[in-house]
Amino acid sequence: MSLKSKLQRMKGHLSLENDKSREAEQVQAALQGGAAETAQTDAIVEQEVQTPDQTAQPDIPYADRWQSMQARPFVWEDEHVMIREVRYPLRQQHGAYSFAQLHDTIAAWEASGRLHPLSAAGKRADDLLFFDTETTGLSGGAGNTVFLLGYSRVEGEEVVVRQHFLPAPTAEVTLYHSFLEQAKQSSHLVTFNGKSFDWPQVRTRHTLIRDQVQALPTFGHLDLLHGARRLWKDELESCRLAIIEQEKLDVYREDDLPGYLAPVRYFDFLHSKDPDVIQGVLRHNEIDVLSLITLYIHVSRLLLMHEREEVSQEERYEIARWFEALGDGETALQAYLTVAHSDHPWSVRAKLAVGHLYKKQKDWKSALHIWESCMSSPGYVPEEVYIEAAKLYEHQLKDWEKALHYTRLAYEQWKKRGSLLRNRSKAEELAFQKRIERLEAKEDMRGML
Amino acid sequence: MKMKKSMAEILEHFRQDERFLANIAHWRTIPARDAKTVSFPSQLDARIREALEKRGIPSLYTHQETSFRHVREGKSIVAVTPTASGKSMCYHLPILQTLSEDSQARALYLFPTKALAQDQKSELHELITEMGLSIKSETYDGDTPANIRQMVRKAGNIVITNPDMLHSAILPHHTKWVSFFEHLKYVVIDELHTYRGVFGSHVANVIRRLKRICAFYGSYPQFICTSATIANPKELAEQLTEEKMELVDNNGAPAGIKHFLFYNPPVVNRQLNIRRSATLEARDITEQFLVNGIQTILFARSRVRVEILLTYLQELIKRKLGPKTIQGYRGGYLPSQRREIERGLRNGDIMGVVSTNALELGVDIGQLQACVITGYPGSVASTWQQAGRAGRRQGESVVVMVGSSTPLDQYVIAHPEYFFDRSPETARINPDNLIILVDHLKCAAYELPFREGETFGSAEIVEILEFLTEEQVLHHSKGKWFWMNDSFPAHNISLRSASQENVVIIDITERGNERVIGEMDRFSSMTLLHEEAIYLHQGTQYQVEKLDYEEKKAYVREVSVDYYTDANLAVQLKVLEQDQYRREGQRAFAYGEVSVHAMATIFKKIKFETHENIGSGPIHLPEEELHTNAAWIGFSDTLLEEIGTEDVERGLVGLAHVLQHVAPLFVMCDPMDLHVIPQRKAVHSQEPTIFLYDRYPGGIGLSEQVYKEMETILAQAERMIVSCPCESGCPSCVGATDDGSKELAMTLLRVAQGGSAYVS
């Protein structure tokens, strides 16, 4: 019996990889009446098309289609990759900002003198490579191929989007060669989740061909996902780039190909070699790398100009927390105070935080002052405020009567809240009781003396 | 109050007690063995030597020295010695020696379970500390924290893990292990004998992948294997690693006196040859040890038995020892639970443990004095492994094997020489099983593209690569096959279970506190987790409320009932292809490919203690289909005329019953892995036929072996029936007890062996 026929017979037992994304695409196509590919509008006008280099063209299927998509071949060691290049003037607006504002942002970091992982102080605009990849799978691993390395970068008076595309898996050496020649002119990557996904995956694929390609440069890395999560985790339904674009950056995509369909489009391309199949993926990646510039400008402005009116109190509070975590108590205090003095519901938690910062500076008086002002505010006051005040009275000011008073207030409130939620922790209750007993004992001691 | 008896007193009591003695079919005393030692090799690093001397070890056992020499000469070895013979030194010594000379060198230790890996890590850490060597050794498994993982990848000299982790976490991410693979000098495979059947066939392919990755990074590691006693350790090691092996079997370790008792429960119905339940007898014997404060392990054949025995014993012992001192141990418990039990056994908090063969492996549970085995474990090797749990080091110990009514148990009990004189079984793997091979070719292609002309061990791969290309899993371009799919193949492939997808068991007793208490493979779940089944877990009874077969979830609720459940499986079988065939007289033997359709039909409720049937119900589950290999015995149609259709049918059923017990012996497998079914009229030939098929899709070589050894197996079956003392058939031989069953099975056996239906 031939192996082939046996394979066919055994097919039911073989776990052949069923293409979930392929099914998803069919569903999507059905929903949209097959319109996913047809509408191809350019949200951005004023594109300057660079004439592709006509001289060194190997035999490339659909060469004219590629050309009309602003892509030209790059040939090295008998293999070619396609490099698509799109240029925009600096004054071009992308969402809420123009690209030119990147220069202002860098200058602002410079002027602020603040230490922050997202700071661009001391860098030139073209040091920053706004970078994103497309891969054949979502999980990291040796077999997940990076088939598109895309980035945007300020080059003189323009922003250039350059996409290095792998037209066949045999051309990976050429892909990385072409990419690294360009990329090494910058010193820092700016990405969205690139620290844990894109760059490790690039490193993985590079390792497989490390004897044939130059070493990877050591880039600095500004990952904007971390900041986005800090600022908007509670506010947005998810911290995906597409959501942030809509909610925060005023970038609206039309007929965008969802990122999860990229692998299956690429597999189709490998069979048909038709660039139209992959065009949606290129376009999607292009907007991604452009939005990274906008997002970077936006997040930097929030961090550097948190006193501005457009910044929401929630954002301001999170910004303060971030600076506090970085050890910049001074900046954190300023931002917290703005929230604390507002009539926003978060002013209470901001006051609590301000008190903690004062306490850290051993400024007991100011800490108590702000906590006590907090207690007199009309809204709900968390027990923590009373407990913190009690602690200060007990340990620093040795005023046990006051400490006992606040502890009892906290305990009463805790009991009320607990019966409301029908959920009381025995450990918490015990902690209250112990504290009260201890303070009562101290009070008694004093009374006896 | 009675005084507790010592081991010697208990043994004396056994000898005096007539009722007990009457049931002892055989009492073998295995004498103590003296140590054979050799002085330390001259090239051994002084620090290593001094550390050993400080432990009171002045020399090496012969097998340790031989292993050291071979490995230092660059050979791959397989060392075969019994439990507690210091076999881990066979690999520790040469590897630590190399690492003391070359701090860059790396070694990979593979253990079949995480528990064993943990054990070895502690042992190794102690050794390394005492030796004052700066060698980093660390486990790498699902429990390793992320920050340590990175350190292990970058700088671990010795990485201790299991094949599953190698398969799904290390090889697919080999680019994170560059310096590890570049400097990999040794691969240790401990407990080699566990790598047989489906699991072994998978692991052989994982090793093919490992060697392929090593070659990519320019390393060609030596393999060091250790194994419990099996018939073919060298062959198995060579099949598993595809490397030439040196066999080291000159065991030099000493051992204490061991008493090995074969205990046959008394006959309660002489006519039907029905004996008292082995489970109950084993329970009573175990109780005698426990109440005298002797740490005892009780082995049961199945997970259900473990739970039944545990319930019994916990009830009995409660007042005397406190309930926590008897524990169950089997697959399906969560790892943390198992670790806790292992610790309890070592420090003596736990007096007794009821276990499946999960504790056959070298998990360190310290020294137990007594071991009770319920029913013959099915293989000589496995029996010695279980028996090795008692008296691992020195001193007097006792092993009691309690026979059940199955034909095999009765045969072994009646023929102690079969057990004591026979060489243990052969371990088989079939790395080229098509399904397993295809699985691992996908993983391998994910790890590195295949080049034309590249090999994958001894397997034929070009056609499979082409097949996978047609299926759009691979992409073929310029003489290379590239992985071109968005999945992560290793995640869909489990090395351990046939059906690849396990059913999780969820306890819904407490609302708002639903929790996962275990898991089970899908095929077993058809008969053990169907709706209304009683599932036992740590001695607690649960009733299955709902089995969501699609989502692979079983919802169970705690209950308290006095019965357990037992399900029936209806099987249909069709021959697809006949590969081999030989005919003589009225019978033919054949081997080929078959398709099997299995469906759970009904279940019975069986009362504890009396084992009577107290109810039944239907099972509504979809049919499972299986393509596999089978060997079969076909009888000529003329036989039907000679002895009558109905009698042929009864004979077939009886003979199948015997073969189900005899055949697994010869191919060293669990009876669950090789199924036997009789057919009065086989679809392909219209003749009376008995099929013996591999339970795993594509087969793992069991039925092929049955085909080759059919004559021997049939002769053994005849001996078993003849030696059974029953009159006309009993559960211990042909199963049925009605008149003439035994004679009819014998008739078919004569024909099957080339004779005629009638005794001339």
Q: Of A357-361, B110-114, B434-438, B481-485, which has the strongest mean pLDDT? A: B481-485
pLDDT tens per residue across span A116-157? 999 999 999 999 999 999 999 988 899 999 999 999 999 999
Nearest-CA residue of chain A relative to B493? A15
> Quick one: A126 and A221 in the same domain?
yes
User: How far from chain centre, in Å, is Cα B153?
Assistant: 31
* CB-CB under 8 Å, B492 with A207: no
pLDDT: is A439 or B226 the higher one?
A: B226
ipTM of the complex as predicted: 0.83
A261: DSSP letter = G
Question: What is the per-residue pLDDT for A202?
Answer: 97
CATH code: domain of residue A130: 3.30.420.10
Q: Count other Cβ atoms within 10 Å, centred on residue B569.
A: 15
**Coil, strand or helix at B276:** coil
Nearest to B419 by CA among B445, B456, B384, B460: B384
Instruction: Count Cα neighbours of A120 within 13 Å in the Cβ-side half-sphere.
Output: 31
Helix B645-667 to helix B741-752 angle, to the nearest 10 degrees? 70
**Which of B167, B175, B465 is the best mutation test for A, with the most CBs of A within 10 A?**
B175
Structure tokens at B743: 């004679």
What CATH number is attached to the domain comprising A419?
Answer: 1.25.40.10
Enumerate the residues of chain A whose CB falls inside 8 A of the CB of residue B173: 140-142, 204
Q: Could you tell me the fold of the domain covering B502-561?
A: Ribosomal Protein L25; Chain P (2.40.240)
- Give per-residue pLDDT as tens, A406-446: 888 888 888 777 666 655 677 778 888 888 888 888 877 77
pLDDT digits 0-9 by tens, A242-275: 999 999 999 999 889 988 899 999 999 999 999 9
Comparing B356-370, B528-542, B624-638, the range with the smallest average pLDDT is B356-370
Instruction: Confirm if B692 and B663 have CB atoms less than 8 A apart.
Output: yes
Task: Say if CB B631 and CB B706 are below 8 A apart.
Answer: yes
Domain B7-30+256-421 is found in CATH 3.40.50.300 = yes
φ and ψ at residue A209, rounded to 5 degrees: -125, 25
Every domain of chain B and the residues it spans: 7-30+256-421, 37-248, 434-492, 502-561, 568-752
pLDDT of residue A1: 53
Which pLDDT value is given to residue B561? 84
Three-state secondary-structure class, residue A160 = strand
In sequence order, what E strands does A139-298 have?
Answer: 146-155, 158-165, 188-191, 220-223
Do residue B697 and residue A208 have CB atoms under 8 angstroms apart? Answer: no
Domain membership flag for residue A36: no
Q: Is A215 an 8 Å CB contact of chain B?
A: no
CB atoms B435 and A17 under 8 Å = no
Q: How far is CA B521 from the centre of its chain?
A: 15
Tell me what percent of chain A is helix, strand and coil, each rounded to the nearest 5: 55, 10, 35
CA A131, A137, A141, A144 dihedral sign is negative
Please answer whether residues B323 and B343 qualify as being in contact, where contact means their C-beta atoms are separated by less than 8 angstroms. Answer: no
CA angle B89, B93, B97 (to 5 degrees): 170
B484 vs A contacts (CB less than 8 Å): 136, 145, 169, 267, 270
Nearest to B439 among A7, A9, A15 (CB): A15
Instruction: Write down the pLDDT at residue B307.
Output: 81
- B448 and chain A in contact, CB less than 8 A: yes
Cα four-point dihedral sign B348, B349, B355, B361: negative
Chain B residues close to A1, C-beta within 8 Å: 577, 579, 593
- B 138-177 residues inside an 8 A Cβ radius of A: 172-176
Nearest Cα to B513, choosing from B543, B552, B557, B553? B557
Chain A residues touching residue B477 (CB < 8 angstroms) = 168-170
Query: pLDDT grade, residue A51 (50/70/90)?
Result: very low
Q: Are residues A252 and A348 in the same domain?
A: no
Give yes or no for residue B753 having a pLDDT over 80: yes
Q: Are residues A217 and A261 in the same domain?
A: yes
Each residue's pLDDT tens digit, B178-204: 999 999 999 999 999 989 888 899 999
Query: Residue A320: inside a domain, yes or no?
Result: no
Q: Which residues of A touch B576 (CB under 8 A)?
A: 9
Identity at B137, one-letter amino acid code: S
Of A273, A304, A335, the residue that ends a domain is A304
**Number of A–B residue contacts, CB under 8 Å:** 116
pLDDT band (50, 70, 90) for residue A39:
very low
The pLDDT value given to residue B611: 65
> How many other C-beta atoms can be found within 10 angstroms of the C-beta atom of residue A101?
21
- Per the structure, the count of domains in chain A is 2
A34 touches B at CB < 8 Å = no
Q: Note whether A55 and A155 are same-domain residues.
A: yes
| 8 Å CB contact between A314 and A117 | no
Q: Which of B103, B235, B81, B213 is nearest to B158 (CA)?
A: B103
Report how far residue B615's alpha carbon sits from residue B629's, in angstroms, rounded to the nearest whole number. 36
Give CA separation, B335 vs A446, B242, B293, B330, B342, in Å.
56, 32, 28, 10, 11
Q: Are residues A343 and A396 in the same domain?
A: yes
Residue A127 located in a structural domain? yes
Q: What angle do CA B210, B211, B216 make, to 5 degrees?
A: 100
Q: Is the pLDDT of residue A7 over 90?
A: no
Assigned domain for A318 exists: no
- Closest by CA to B81, choosing from B252, B261, B271, is B252
CB B483 within 8 A of CB B534: no
Do A299 and A337 lie in one domain? The reply is: no
Mean pLDDT over B118-123 rounds to 80
Domain limit, last residue, from A247, A273, A304: A304
Q: Is the pLDDT of residue B324 over 80?
A: no
Superfamily of domain B37-248: P-loop containing nucleotide triphosphate hydrolases (3.40.50.300)
Tell me what the mean pLDDT of segment A29-36 comes to. 47
Percent of residues, chain B, with pLDDT higher than 90:
41
Range of the domain at A402: 327-448
pLDDT-above-70 percentage for chain B: 91
pTM: 0.81
Residue A431 lies in a domain: yes
What is the pLDDT, as a whole number, of residue B1? Answer: 43
Q: Name the DSSP letter for residue A245.
A: I
Average pLDDT over residues B497-521: 75
pLDDT of A422: 57
Distance (Å) from the alpha carbon of B118 to chain A's nearest alpha carbon: 27
Mean confidence (pLDDT) of chain B:
86
Residue A49 predicted with pLDDT over 50: no
Domains B7-30+256-421 and B37-248 are alike in CATH topology: yes
* DSSP result, A334-359: HHHHHHHTSSSTTHHHHHHHHHHHHH
CA–CA separation, B757 vs B760, rounded Å?
A: 9
Higher-pLDDT residue of B226, B391: B226
Contacts of B174 in chain A (CB under 8 A): 142
| Sheet with A220-223, edge to edge strand ranges | A71-76, A79-89, A158-165, A146-155, A128-135, A188-191, A220-223
B697 contacts A10? CB cut-off 8 A: yes
Q: Convert the pLDDT of each residue in A158-199 to its tens digit.
A: 999 999 999 999 999 999 999 999 999 999 999 999 999 999
